Amino acid sequence: MPLTTLVFSKYQSDIVRELEEVLSGGSPLFEMLRYHVGWADEEGKTVAGGYPGKLLRPSFCLMCCEAVGGDWRQALPAAASVELLHNFSLIHDDVEDCSAHRRHRRTLWNVWGEALAINAGDAMHTLAEIAMLGLTSRNVPPERVIEALRISNQTCLRLCEGQHLDLSYEKRLDITVEDYLNMIRGKTAALFECSFGLGALLGTENQAVIEDLRRCGHLLGLAFQIKDDVLGIWGGEAIGKSDNDLLKKKKTLPVVYALEKAAGPDRTLLLDYYAKQTPDDDDAGAIRSLLRRLDAAEYSEKLGKDYYARALRELEESGVVRDARESLAKVASLVIERDS
C-alpha cells in the first residue's frame, strides 16, 4: 500500500463510523442518502463494501488538527460535516449538470427523479449542520462550535457563488483563464480551505497557523480541481462518470485555454462544436485531438502543479512543526497524482 494511503487510512474508519451514525435514520429518505454513499442499493437493501468516495476533505481536516497539536478524534464531527457538505454539493451538482453516473453508479436523480434528489440533497445539507453540532459532545467550547458553523456556512455560500459562475459560463465562449480560476476558487478551493481551516481551528488557538493552513488548503483545492478537469477529458473509465466534460460542454481549464489560444480553422472547429445542441462522441473526439495539438493538457497539468507547489511552500513557511509538515506534504501529493 502506498505511504500516502497508509497515512490517510489512519483516519478513514473513524470518519466512516461517524458518517454511519449520522446517516442511520430509518425512513426512505435515509435509504436514498445511504444509496448515494454506496451503502444501499436502489431498493434500500444494505450493500457490503467500503465508502466509494476518497474522503480527501475530512482526512485533511483531521490531519490538520493533529498537525497543529490537537486531538484529531475531537474534530471527527467537523470532518464528517465537511464530507456531508461535499456530498450535498455532489447531489445538487448532478441534478444541475444532468450527470447520469457518479462513483460508478447511477446518480440519485437518475434513479429517483430530480425532485426527490433535490430533497435528498437538502437533507444531506441539514445533516452536515447537525453533524457539526456533535462537536459540543466532544468537549469543544461552544464559541468554537459557533465559529466552525460560521466557517462552514460561509463556505456553502462560496460554493454556491462558484457553482453560479460555472453554470453561467456554459453558454459563453469568452471565458478567460482568470475567469475560470475565479470560478474554481469558490466551487472547489473553498471547501478544501474550509477542511484545513476547521481542522486547525479545532487543534489550536494560534490564529496565524490557522490562516497558514487555510491558505495551503485553498491552493491545494485549486490544484485538485485542475487535475479533475484533466481527468474529466482524458480520465476514461477510472473516474466513474459515463459522460465526459467535453460532451457536457463544460468550460474546464483545457477548453478555456484552447478558446484563448486557438486561431483560424482550430478556432472555427471549437466554436462550431460549442454551437452544437448535442455534440456526439465523434465531435468530442475531434476536440480532444485539437486540445492535444494545442498542448492544453500539458498547460493544465503545469498550472495544477504550480498551485500544488505554492501550497507546499505555504505549508513549509507555516507555523506547523516539521514532522507534521512532512506528513501533510506527502499526503497532499495525492491531489495531483491521482487517476480518479
d(CA 336, CA 191): 17
Q: Are 32 and 120 in contact (CB under 8 A)?
A: yes
Kindly provide the b/e burial profile for residues 294-304, where b requires at least 16 CB atoms within 10 angstroms of the residue's own CB.
Answer: bebbebbbebb
Shortest separation between residue 163's beta carbon and ligand GRG, angstroms: 4
d(CA 135, CA 117): 28
- Residue 183-202 contact track with ligand GRG, rule CB under 6 A, x = bound: ----xx--------------
Among 23, 40, 68, 90, binds ligand GRG (CB under 6 A): 90
Contacts of ligand GRG in 22-81 (CB under 6 A):
53-54, 56
Among 10, 103, 248, 305, binds ligand GRG (CB under 6 A): 103
Span near ligand GRG by CB under 6 A; candidates 24-32, 83-91, 196-204, 208-216: 83-91
Using the structure block, give the residue that is written with the C-alpha cell 431498493.
43
Nearer to ligand GRG, 167 or 286 (CB): 167
Determine, following the binding rule CB under 6 A, whether residue 325 of this chain makes contact with ligand GRG. Answer: no
CA dist list (Å): 166 to 3, 28, 183, 260: 35, 32, 6, 17
Using the structure block, give the residue that is written with the C-alpha cell 466557517.
151
Cell numbers found for residue 214:
487555510
Nearer to ligand GRG, 103 or 261 (CB): 103
Span near ligand GRG by CB under 6 A; candidates 8-16, 156-164, 257-265, 299-307: 156-164
Determine, following the binding rule CB under 6 A, whether residue 92 of this chain makes contact with ligand GRG. Answer: yes
The count of C-alpha atoms lying within 13 angstroms of the C-alpha of 163, restricted to the half-sphere facing its C-beta, is: 17
Type of residue found at 310: R
* Interface ranges with ligand GRG (CB under 6 A): 53-54, 56, 85, 88-90, 92-93, 103, 156, 159-160, 163, 187-188, 225, 228
